[in-house]
Chain A
């Protein structure tokens, strides 16, 4: 084995070095399976008298040493919080997005009654953990309550208690390839607003075959969305989240609009199995003119220097149907574990408030290099402004929060979705069933699973 200087290192020497590094790593702070940015001992004299507290934060997709967004923002958040609260020591644990990490959370929190003091969570997990008595109520003032997006706050309310801090709202919307629009003489929607008919007309014009045989499609979405079912006012549940309503006339009408896109062949033939990464790559390479994706794709597009914002791409709202302007979105939350240790719980709440509050964005922006903390628009009005300062496209996205429909937390939704709703949707899009027939067939099973979640 060659060292940089060109001298040779023996196998024994190499193994000794590895052992030494391993031993050092094992003794180092934050050592562990995925232990990451553990801050050092409390520094600064201002809070020297405050009692030292150590808390553990679990963050999905945190990978120590990597450059992914979750890791950079988490490391930045810990550093910035420590400057404000030097008595609090934080250790981060991570795991990739997906079922394995969800299970790790479940086992730690539900089975072992252990694990994180504060953690990042999504969807139905919040209510599942709240039902198990594992979440500590967020001590919010009335002003703070009013500051949060109401539907996001509703999603974290369990038995009239707010059991997690809404972090951000991730809206889905349309990315448009301006090069293709110009090439086909299609006018981009003014101020990003268009009706369904205008959208369909544009998608038809943007579906064409080039002289070299390359096929361009007007529209695509990755196979993980139900946005079109909202555009005419359809919603999965009623206001109390007690009744399944995704077979209402409005939802059926929305699905019919979606089916029309398939019938007009403005979507690529693999639209039922198109995964997000492939969809994004094909949008960038000019194979797809309009792509429906969440706000995180803005950073992906910005990473491509040749593909400039406002010159090559732009964003637009969902096409407007018969209902109010809407967008489809998800919410991220920060939850604090219920525990006996009041100091830890207090520090965890402080950190959770900081992670979801207005100070963190400017704190991380001041860092060298600056860190864009908000990966999506904040769920608090007072924290929302800075997301728009990162990029002009994000400024537009920040305004979408007001009409983004946040899917309520129902712990059985993934089962409703994967086992029933998605296959029914596919059958309708393939023309094997009418939208009404497909959605009616889902209703009974979906209602049963919704009832089970509400028990």
Chain B
């Protein structure tokens, strides 16, 4: 037995409970999903059909629409949330310690709300009737009324807007903490060189926040790929003419309403591969040796 194992072997005992739970409740279900994706599976069992489910997906226009909607939602929402979180955190940063804490809490607290409740509020905001809040507000300046979630042309836009207009509290807190830990000397040196606030922000703050940005990018991308409840509540599932259908929404209906567990698992595998691929790309393009 190697010396290292003799010396640290017992420590594996400490991680065993957590690792066991991880295996039972995460690893095995994921492996089972991969196995199911190769089967024509229903609730009573299934038979192996190779990659037939994936071929079915490739020819399924509803899946292609769900894929397109999910990607569009992810690209717009993640980009917007990262920028918003960074800007808000940067605006908080010059405030005093107490004010910083207040604003961090202010932006973070809405996260504890039920996602369903939040989606219901957005459903009312983007109600196509004149009494919808967005139409009422826009009507005051002579715009609209718009059909929002009542139209296949505008429903996805409404869902995206609802996500974009929700300031990402988690991102604000993380960026805010990261900004506070940046070395002051760099800013002092920039001051000596006569740099303005925007130059300092763009040339010092943003580059040094790369690790935080990478983390948020990966997390927000995965969360955006999993968009479900917002679409489900705001647009009664897939919206008019399936305009807002997303992959997870389609997985839900395919598995639990149509009873096609194999096909739903194949969709989940596609989503998993997409998430991994995007995460790898993000790591490769944004990884840096930032040290301070």
A contact residues vs B (CB 8 Å cutoff): 99-100, 102-103, 106-107, 110-111, 132, 213, 215, 223, 268-273, 275, 411-412, 414-415, 418-419, 423, 426-427, 430, 432
Determine if B44 and A132 form an interchain contact, defined as CB atoms under 8 angstroms apart: yes
For the complex, give the distance between the alpha carbons of A339 and B237 in Å.
Answer: 38
B contact residues vs A (CB 8 Å cutoff): 42-45, 62, 127-130, 145, 147, 149-152, 155, 235-242, 252-253, 256-260
Determine if B44 and A270 form an interchain contact, defined as CB atoms under 8 angstroms apart: no
Contact of A427 among B45, B62, B152, B237 (CB under 8 A): B152
For the complex, give the distance between the alpha carbons of A369 and B270 in Å.
Answer: 56
For the complex, give the distance between the alpha carbons of A103 and B256 in Å.
Answer: 7
The distance from the CB of B285 to the nearest CB of chain A, in whole angstroms, is: 37
User: A275-B236, A426-B241, A430-B240 given as contacts; is B257 within 8 A of A418 (CB)?
Assistant: yes
Q: In the complex, which residues of chain B have a beta carbon less than 8 angstroms from the beta carbon of A102? A: 256-257
Determine if A418 and B253 form an interchain contact, defined as CB atoms under 8 angstroms apart: yes
Determine if A432 and B152 form an interchain contact, defined as CB atoms under 8 angstroms apart: yes
Can you name 11 A-B pairs with beta carbons within 8 Å?
A99-B256, A111-B44, A268-B128, A270-B149, A273-B235, A275-B236, A414-B258, A418-B238, A426-B241, A427-B241, A430-B152
- Ranked 10 nearest A-B pairs via Cβ: A269-B128, A99-B256, A426-B241, A272-B240, A270-B150, A415-B258, A106-B43, A270-B128, A110-B44, A423-B242
Least CB separation from A414: chain B residue: B257
Q: In the complex, which residues of chain B have a beta carbon less than 8 angstroms from the beta carbon of A268? A: 128-129
Least CB separation from A106: chain B residue: B43
Least CB separation from B43: chain A residue: A106
Least CB separation from B135: chain A residue: A269
For the complex, give the distance between the alpha carbons of A275 and B127 in Å.
Answer: 12
For the complex, give the distance between the alpha carbons of A100 and B128 in Å.
Answer: 31
Q: In the complex, which residues of chain B have a beta carbon less than 8 angstroms from the beta carbon of A272? A: 150-151, 239-240
Determine if A273 and B239 form an interchain contact, defined as CB atoms under 8 angstroms apart: yes
The distance from the CB of B213 to the nearest CB of chain A, in whole angstroms, is: 36
Least CB separation from A438: chain B residue: B241
Determine if B241 and A430 form an interchain contact, defined as CB atoms under 8 angstroms apart: yes
Please count the residue pairs between chain A and chain B whose beta carbons lie under 8 angstroms apart in the complex. 79
The distance from the CB of B181 to the nearest CB of chain A, in whole angstroms, is: 41
Determine if B259 and A106 form an interchain contact, defined as CB atoms under 8 angstroms apart: yes
Q: In the complex, which residues of chain B have a beta carbon less than 8 angstroms from the beta carbon of A103? A: 43, 256
For the complex, give the distance between the alpha carbons of A417 and B66 in Å.
Answer: 17
For the complex, give the distance between the alpha carbons of A427 and B239 in Å.
Answer: 11
Determine if B130 and A107 form an interchain contact, defined as CB atoms under 8 angstroms apart: no
Least CB separation from B127: chain A residue: A270
Determine if A271 and B152 form an interchain contact, defined as CB atoms under 8 angstroms apart: no
The distance from the CB of B33 to the nearest CB of chain A, in whole angstroms, is: 16
Q: In the complex, which residues of chain B have a beta carbon less than 8 angstroms from the beta carbon of A432? A: 152, 241
Least CB separation from B236: chain A residue: A273
User: A415-B258, A426-B240 given as contacts; is B43 within 8 A of A270 (CB)?
Assistant: no
Determine if B147 and A269 form an interchain contact, defined as CB atoms under 8 angstroms apart: yes
For the complex, give the distance between the alpha carbons of A102 and B253 in Å.
Answer: 12
Least CB separation from A275: chain B residue: B236
Besides A111-B45, A273-B236, 18 other A-B contacts (C-beta < 8 A): A99-B252, A102-B256, A106-B43, A110-B43, A213-B130, A269-B128, A269-B129, A270-B128, A270-B129, A270-B149, A272-B151, A273-B150, A273-B235, A415-B257, A418-B237, A430-B152, A430-B241, A432-B152
Q: In the complex, which residues of chain B have a beta carbon less than 8 angstroms from the beta carbon of A415? A: 257-258, 260
Least CB separation from B253: chain A residue: A418
Q: In the complex, which residues of chain B have a beta carbon less than 8 angstroms from the beta carbon of A270? A: 127-129, 149-150
The distance from the CB of B212 to the nearest CB of chain A, in whole angstroms, is: 38
User: A273-B240, A430-B240 given as contacts; is B43 within 8 A of A107 (CB)?
Assistant: yes
The distance from the CB of A152 to the nearest CB of chain B, in whole angstroms, is: 24
Determine if B44 and A100 form an interchain contact, defined as CB atoms under 8 angstroms apart: no
Q: In the complex, which residues of chain A have a beta carbon less than 8 angstroms from the beta carbon of B62? A: 419, 423
Q: In the complex, which residues of chain A have a beta carbon less than 8 angstroms from the beta carbon of B256? A: 99-100, 102-103
The distance from the CB of B124 to the nearest CB of chain A, in whole angstroms, is: 10
Least CB separation from B233: chain A residue: A275
Q: In the complex, which residues of chain A have a beta carbon less than 8 angstroms from the beta carbon of B259? A: 106, 411
For the complex, give the distance between the alpha carbons of A430 and B258 in Å.
Answer: 26
Least CB separation from B146: chain A residue: A269
Least CB separation from B242: chain A residue: A423
For the complex, give the distance between the alpha carbons of A268 and B132 in Å.
Answer: 12
For the complex, give the distance between the alpha carbons of A29 and B236 in Å.
Answer: 40
Q: In the complex, which residues of chain A have a beta carbon less than 8 angstroms from the beta carbon of B145? A: 269
- Residue among A102, A106, A419 with most chain B CB within 10 A: A419
Q: In the complex, which residues of chain B have a beta carbon less than 8 angstroms from the beta carbon of A110? A: 42-44
The distance from the CB of B198 to the nearest CB of chain A, in whole angstroms, is: 43
For the complex, give the distance between the alpha carbons of A110 and B237 in Å.
Answer: 27
Contact of A271 among B130, B150, B235, B239 (CB under 8 A): B150
The distance from the CB of B260 to the nearest CB of chain A, in whole angstroms, is: 8
The distance from the CB of B58 to the nearest CB of chain A, in whole angstroms, is: 16
Least CB separation from A209: chain B residue: B130
For the complex, give the distance between the alpha carbons of A72 and B16 in Å.
Answer: 49
The distance from the CB of A23 to the nearest CB of chain B, in whole angstroms, is: 29
For the complex, give the distance between the alpha carbons of A412 and B129 in Å.
Answer: 35
For the complex, give the distance between the alpha carbons of A106 and B259 in Å.
Answer: 9
For the complex, give the distance between the alpha carbons of A99 and B256 in Å.
Answer: 6
Least CB separation from A215: chain B residue: B130
Q: In the complex, which residues of chain A have a beta carbon less than 8 angstroms from the beta carbon of B258? A: 412, 414-415, 418-419
- Residue among B130, B147, B152, B259 with most chain A CB within 10 A: B259
For the complex, give the distance between the alpha carbons of A132 and B151 in Å.
Answer: 42
The distance from the CB of B126 to the nearest CB of chain A, in whole angstroms, is: 10
Contact of B129 among A215, A411, A427 (CB under 8 A): A215
For the complex, give the distance between the alpha carbons of A430 and B239 in Å.
Answer: 13
